[in-house]
Amino acid sequence: MAVASAAPGSLFCKQLLFSLLVLILFCDACQKISLQVPSHLQAETLVGKVNLKECLQSASLILSSDPNFRILEDGSIYTTHDLILSSQRKSFSISLSDSKKQEQKEIEIVLEAREKKVPKKRHIKDTVLKRSKRRWAPIPCSLMENSLGPFPQHVQQVQSDAAQNYTIFYSISGPGVDKEPFNLFFINKDSGDIFCTRSIDREQYQEFPLYAYATTADGYAPEYPLPLLFKVEDDNDNAPYFENKVTIFNVPENCRIGTSVGKVTAIDLDEPDTLHTRLKFKILQQIPDHPKHFSIHPDTGVITTTSLLLDREKCDTYQLIMEVRDMGGQHFGLFNTGTITISLEDENDNAPYFTETSYFTEVEENRIDVEILRMKVHDLDLQNTAHSKAVYTILRGNENGNFKISTDPNTNEAVLCVVKPLNYEANQQIVLQIGVVNEAQFSSAPNSKPPSMCTTTVTVKVQDRDEGPECQPPVKVIQSKDGFPAGQELLGYKASDPETRSGEGLRYKKIKDEDNWFEINEETGNLRTVKVLDRESKFVKNDQYNVSVVAADRDGRSCTGTLVILLEDDNDHTPQIDKDVTICQHTQDFAVLTPMDADGPENGPPFQFILDNSVSKLWTLGTKDGKTATLRAKQHLDYNYYDVPITIKDRAGFGEKHILSVRVCDCTTPSDCRMTAKARERDAKLANVILGKWAILAMVLGSALLLCVLFTCFCVTAKRTVKKCFPDDVAQQNLIVSNTEGPGEEVMDANIRIPTQTSNICDTSMSVGTLGGQGVKTQQSFEMIKGGYTLDSSKGGGHQTLQSVKGAGQGVTDTSRYAYTDWHSFTQPRLGEKVYLCGQDEEHKHSEDYVRSYNYEGKGSMAGSVGCCSDRQEEEGLEFLDHLEPKFRTLAKTCVKK
């Protein structure tokens, strides 16, 4: 029984030992963590932070043994409600478990309560604390980036010597405390310990400038604020990366070794100028990978070529897989990769070549602007660029310019055309050699020679056809003399038939002859002049006169030729000059004479100017260049017209005499001269009047007849004694007195009865009738006074002027009286006819020329019109101010300036 009983007991011990072993293996306790906290903790207060991953890498379940605390996944410990630590220490554990690995661990947490200081009051009688040099000074401090804790992590402690005598409370301010980022640092106000609550990223915050303060309970500050600078030490937590996600470089093909392709750049956010940002570049792979064409400088990132075999026609694009690594390229450094694309630029390293070595084509003669052949070429360079576009050239066989070759821009083919007629009789077959190059200059690879031009031959066969006459040369020149007379024959234009080489059967016709100088012989084509050939004609250009001729055969086929008549100059024109010359003495005392000669240069200047001896005392004539002359007065001349004869001859001595009309004027420019030529023309006409012998004889006979008449009148007057009656008023000898101011009575009877009574009474008054403008004086008998009226008074029908009255008074002489019977027989029939016509006409048109009112004052008075006495104000005529004489211009300019 003892054994039996013993067996179960031993088995239980074994099982208990096995369970303890399992707990030891799977529930290893992690390190013990102590945290200093205030004795009074409020709810949701951060107590601290532990690194859970150091204890268990992947914890699926996190539990706290004390319900007063809760644990977050990042290891932060928070209170669940207000808590007062009754004792100085309080401990609990954090249980971590991994369900996949079936692993559990615990972390023991010990909370130590901080002791409270008993405030020591500062008495009023105490002297004021004096600041002195103590240990209150900044202490160098740094924080590690991405620190794993535990948090709160002790950073530094500040203390003041004043704490030995008084109760001092500490505080801090600055970024990380009361500025962004908030609550990163806090200080134990009693001990001066500064703690960090979480990890820091240096790329976001490089340093934290803080200020620490020491104060007493009543707010007194025994120390100055202490500046604290916490620098964050860099951690290599950022891998470098390429600046551009897609990088493309271009490099010409066939470039030399060492040609720079491009430079790659990378960025590392860690602290500059440290090992964390010392980058190295490397090419991991080239696609396609054979052969190797590129290399990269590990420090600068410059990619260069390492081969001469870069050929775009074989491969036009390469890809490089690049790596950039920090820590100087060491294997433990952080790295990144990227892809670089390199494109090869085309170079003209492939010459074009024809697809065939020779070509054959045909064309009819005399055809132009016709396409006869197209040729293709091949080029391996990039299409539709200057490296592949072809340029064709006819190297041989086109000496006469019959062909033209061009490039079709769409197909790049050679297009051969005929631009000048081909003649079968001259050449039945033509062989052309054609070459081709590119628009761009050929670029050969290094250490290679450029290829020669690719050429081909084209055989052109000319087909015969029957053509019309041929005008060769198109322009024919013949010479003739200026002034060639009419009716003379000139050699004309000759055409020929290319088949027979003769001009038989051709007919000629003139199609252009601007001045109609010639007529053409239809059979021979010769010309005959119908006018005198004049080189100075307006139709002659450059001494040439053109005549166009058409030659046609029997079938109507024709050709056109031009005959140019080259006229040799003949000296048939004398130099001419403008004969009206003006000299303005205000500006210059001479005139420049410029003659013109219609002949050619060989019969033109230099001219010879000769002044006539008759005017050499007043004028001088000089010349310098033989083209112009200067006419100058030897002395000051009056403003007038002067005739100056001069002779002008050309270089051949052919000339004539010209009489210049020189106007010496008081002016500044010839256009200002107001001296007109009317007075000069009137004087010239008077000077040119020459009395002939018959005119002189008529004047002598007329003078003799007048003397005879005067002598006869004197004799008759002397024999008769007539009692002279003089009026009282002397002025009435020249004025006619009228007894009425109004018009006379209308005459209705056709007959006018003239009183026949005479009176011997000598009356001083004079009664003058209004019939025909003749004066009738009442003396012993009615007599008619002849010649007492002017032309105006006789036409006026009774209207008398002052001149007519004077004439009437002067005409009362015995020598110019007629008997009343003569006057009556002369005027009675005529006056009766006029009165009868006036009675027959209702409108009295016939009386308008004879019946006038007596109140007409007459015209032609020397005193002028009495209208000048009117009160009407007339406008002042100031138009004369626009045409002042030259002598008033200086005064006008002065007035304008003022």
Q: Residues 800, 804, 806, CA angle at the centre, nearest 5°?
A: 130
Question: Is residue 2 scored above 70 in pLDDT?
Answer: no
Q: Give me the pLDDT at residue 580, please.
A: 83
Cα separations (Å) of 182 from 203, 230, 777?
17, 15, 151
Q: 897 pLDDT exceeds 90?
A: no
Instruction: Check pLDDT > 90 for residue 829.
Output: no
Side-chain-side CA neighbours of 679 within 13 Å: the count stands at 6
Question: Given a cut of 50, is residue 10 above it in pLDDT?
Answer: no
Does 894 or 698 have the greater pLDDT score?
A: 698
For the segment 298-307, the average pLDDT, to the nearest whole number, is 92
pLDDT of residue 404: 94
Sign, CA torsion 809/810/813/818:
negative
Report the C-alpha dihedral over residues 762, 763, 766, 770, rounded to 10 degrees: -80
pLDDT at 552 over 80: yes
Q: What is the structure's pLDDT at 289?
A: 85
Q: What is the DSSP letter of 114?
A: P
Q: Alpha-carbon dihedral of residues 143, 144, 150, 154, nearest 10 degrees? A: -20
Q: What is the mean pLDDT of residues 353-365?
A: 91
Cα 582 to Cα 668: distance, rounded to the nearest angstrom: 11
CB 493 within 8 A of CB 392: no
pLDDT of residue 90: 83
Cα–Cα nearest to 150, from 77, 65, 63: 77
pTM reported for the whole predicted model: 0.42
- Which of residues 301 and 888 earns the better pLDDT score? 301
- For 890, phi and psi rounded to 5 degrees? -60, -40
Tell me: pLDDT of 444 over 80: no
- Using pLDDT thresholds of 50, 70 and 90, give the confidence band for residue 887: low
Q: What is the mean pLDDT of residues 817-821?
A: 55
The pLDDT assigned to 649 comes to 82
The pLDDT of residue 781 = 36
What residue has token string 């008993």? Answer: 118
* Phi, psi dihedrals of residue 193, rounded to the nearest 5°: -75, 135
Residue 264 has a pLDDT of 93
Predicted confidence (pLDDT) at residue 616 exceeds the cutoff of 70: yes
pLDDT-derived band at 882 (thresholds 50, 70, 90) equals low
* CB contact set of 133 (below 8 Å; sequence gap of 6+): none
Q: How far is CA 32 from CA 38, 41, 54, 94, 611, in A?
A: 20, 21, 12, 11, 144
- Quote the strand ranges of 30-184, DSSP E: 33-37, 40-41, 46-49, 61-64, 69-71, 76-79, 83-84, 89-98, 103-113, 141-144, 153-157, 169-173
Q: Is the pLDDT of residue 64 over 90?
A: no
φ, ψ for residue 826 (rounded to 5)?
A: -85, -40
What value does the mean pLDDT take over residues 728-737? 44
Lowest mean pLDDT of 108-117, 387-396, 884-893, name the range: 884-893
Q: pLDDT tier at 392 (50, 70, 90 boundaries)?
A: very high
pLDDT of residue 769: 36
- Torsion angle of the four alpha carbons 243, 246, 247, 253, in this order, in degrees rounded to the nearest 10: 170
> What is the pLDDT of the chain when averaged over all its residues?
74
Are 360 and 335 contacting, i.e. CB atoms less than 8 angstroms apart? no
pLDDT tens digits for range 474-516 = 888 877 777 788 877 778 777 877 767 777 778 888 888 888 8
Band of the pLDDT at 575, cuts 50, 70, 90? confident
pLDDT in tens, 699-710: 888 888 888 888
> Is the pLDDT reported for residue 727 higher than 90?
no
844 pLDDT tier (thresholds 50, 70, 90) = low
User: What is the rounded CA–CA span in Å between residue 65 and residue 96?
Assistant: 11
- pLDDT tens-digit series, residues 226-267: 899 999 998 888 999 998 888 899 999 888 899 999 999 999
User: Going by C-beta distance under 8 Å and a sequence separation of 6 or more, which residues neighbour residue 65?
Assistant: 92, 93, 94, 95
**In this predicted structure, which of 75-79, 168-172, 574-578, 714-718 has the lowest mean pLDDT?**
714-718
Q: Which has the minimum average pLDDT: 274-278, 436-440, 491-495, 566-570?
A: 566-570
pLDDT computed for residue 456 by the predictor = 93
If 0-12 CB within 10 Å is exposed, 13-18 middle and 19+ buried, where does residue 524 land? middle
What is the pLDDT, as a whole number, of residue 406?
94
Number of neighbours of residue 231 by Cβ within 10 angstroms = 14
| Residue 39, pLDDT score | 78
Confidence of residue 7 (pLDDT cuts 50, 70, 90): very low
Q: Supply the pLDDT for residue 61.
A: 85
Give the closest residue to 605 by CA, choosing from 647, 648, 641, 663. Answer: 648
More confident call, 461 vs 44:
461
Beta strands at 358-364 and 454-463: parallel, antiparallel or unpaired: parallel
pLDDT confidence tier of residue 341, bands split at 50, 70 and 90: very high
Which residues face 658 on adjacent strands? 646
Task: Tell me: pLDDT of 225 over 60.
Answer: yes
Lowest mean pLDDT among 116-120, 526-530, 820-824, 835-839: 116-120
pLDDT digits (tens, 9 = 90+) for 237-248: 899 999 888 889
- The pLDDT score that the predictor gives to residue 716 is 66
The continuous run of DSSP H or E covering 693 comes out as helix 693-719
In the predicted model, is pLDDT for residue 24 greater than 60? no
Tell me the pLDDT band of 323, cut-offs 50, 70 and 90.
very high
* Region 188-193 average pLDDT: 90
Q: Using alpha carbons only, what angle is made at residue 521 by residues 506 and 532, rounded to the nearest 5 degrees?
A: 145
Least confident segment among 291-305, 371-385, 406-420, 737-751? 737-751
Higher pLDDT, 541 or 764: 541
Place of tokens 């234009």: 493
pLDDT score recorded for residue 56 = 82
Query: Cβ-count burial of 605 within 10 angstroms (0-12 exposed, 13-18 middle, 19+ buried)?
Result: middle
Long-range Cβ contacts of 69-73 (<8 Å, 24+ apart): 69/109
The three-state DSSP-derived secondary structure of 472-499 is CCCEEEEEEECCCCCCCEECCCCCEECC
Residue 629 has pLDDT above 90, yes or no: no
> What per-residue confidence (pLDDT) applies to 725?
42
Entry field: residues in the chain:
898
CA torsion sign for 838, 839, 840, 844 is positive
Rounded-to-integer distance, Cα 587 and Cα 667, Å? 8
User: pLDDT band at 620, cuts 50/70/90?
Assistant: confident
pLDDT tens digit string along 104-162? 888 888 888 765 544 454 544 344 444 444 456 666 788 898 888 888 989 988 888 88
CA distance 74 to 71: 8
pLDDT at residue 690, rounded to an integer: 56
Q: Is the pLDDT of residue 735 over 90?
A: no
Tokens representing 277? 């940002």
Res. 697: pLDDT tops 70: yes
The pLDDT, as a whole number, for residue 842 is 53
377 has pLDDT over 90? yes
Other beta carbons within 10 angstroms of residue 8's beta carbon come to 9
Does the pLDDT value for residue 295 go beyond 80? yes
Structure tokens at 392: 């064709």
Residue 1: what pLDDT? 24
Look at residue 540 and give its three-state secondary structure: coil
In 3D, which of 683, 585, 590, 584 has the Cα closest to residue 644? 590
Poorest-confidence range of 142-151, 198-207, 577-586, 843-852?
Answer: 843-852
| 514, 539 Cβ separation under 8 angstroms | yes
Residue 224's contacts (CB-CB under 8 Å, 6 or more residues apart) are: 131, 136
Task: Report whether pLDDT(435) > 90.
Answer: yes
